[in-house]
Structure 1
């Protein structure tokens, strides 16, 4: 059984926010560009952690470990996301909060779409 391509999903997300950030930066919006990059990273990096942690084991004999891995991976992803947002809001000044949240939300949607396409 092949492992899910979670790192490819994170790479696509980071590529998309990098392109958006570069375009914004070239249009003289450096604060918005940085906020978009950070918002995408706050989605992609915890998502990559989840995938790495959740899919370490596979197979029927490892069913208990797989379930445990999913719970630990989701908890870790949640903590990383919360800590990431807290750190960003405490340290990054100036910040465009709207761009940060929009970028984060769009990355979540990209993740859902890519996962749905890969499941088919």
Structure 2
């Protein structure tokens, strides 16, 4: 099974994060912008790790990918939870709505990227 181009989702997340950070910095303050970036990191970094674990080893059989998916998803969940714990324990000053806004923005990019990959895969058949 040939790996899909999941790296494009991470690149899209970086582009959206750059745009949102610039806009937030222009409209708010540095604490809000740092909180936004921290929340986005709680989503984007575990997603990138998940993609690397699942597809970063080259071509594999479908069954191998499925089994690796369970472990990768558990790791992604743990990394997200640990990221939030670190952000809320260590980041001061903190703007909680910006943290969750950054996280939500990255989840939306992930969902859009997943839909794009599914449609791309169906179009190539």
Shared fold, TM over 0.5: yes
What 5-or-longer segments of structure 1 have no aligned partner? none
Aligned equivalents of 1:102, 1:28: Cα separation in 2? 14
> Normalising by the residue count of structure 1, what TM-score does the alignment of the two structures yield?
0.87
In the other structure, the counterpart of 1:11 is 11
The list of structure 1 runs, each at least 4 consecutive aligned residues, that deviate by more than 4 angstroms after superposition, is: none
Answer yes or no: is 1:107 the counterpart of 2:89.
no
Determine helix, strand or coil for the equivalent of 1:3: coil
Determine helix, strand or coil for the equivalent of 2:115: helix
Name the Cα RMSD after superposition. 1.7
What 5-or-longer segments of structure 2 have no aligned partner? 120-125
Ranked by relative contact order (alpha carbons within 8 Å, sequence separation 6 or more), the top structure is 2
> What is the CA deviation profile of residues 45-87 of structure 1, one whole-angstrom value per residue up to 9, with x for unaligned ones?
100111111123645xx34422221011001101100100001
> Normalising by the residue count of structure 2, what TM-score does the alignment of the two structures yield?
0.84
Aligned equivalents of 1:24, 1:113: Cα separation in 2? 22
Determine helix, strand or coil for the equivalent of 1:94: coil
Do 2:35 and 2:99's aligned partners in 1 also have CA atoms closer than 8 Å?
yes
Determine helix, strand or coil for the equivalent of 2:37: helix
Determine helix, strand or coil for the equivalent of 1:98: helix
In the other structure, the counterpart of 1:49 is 49
Aligned residues: 118
Aligned equivalents of 2:86, 2:6: Cα separation in 1? 25
Aligned equivalents of 1:57, 1:78: Cα separation in 2? 23
Superposed, 1:53-68 pairs within 5 Å as 53-55=53-55, 56=57, 58-59=59-60, 62-68=61-67
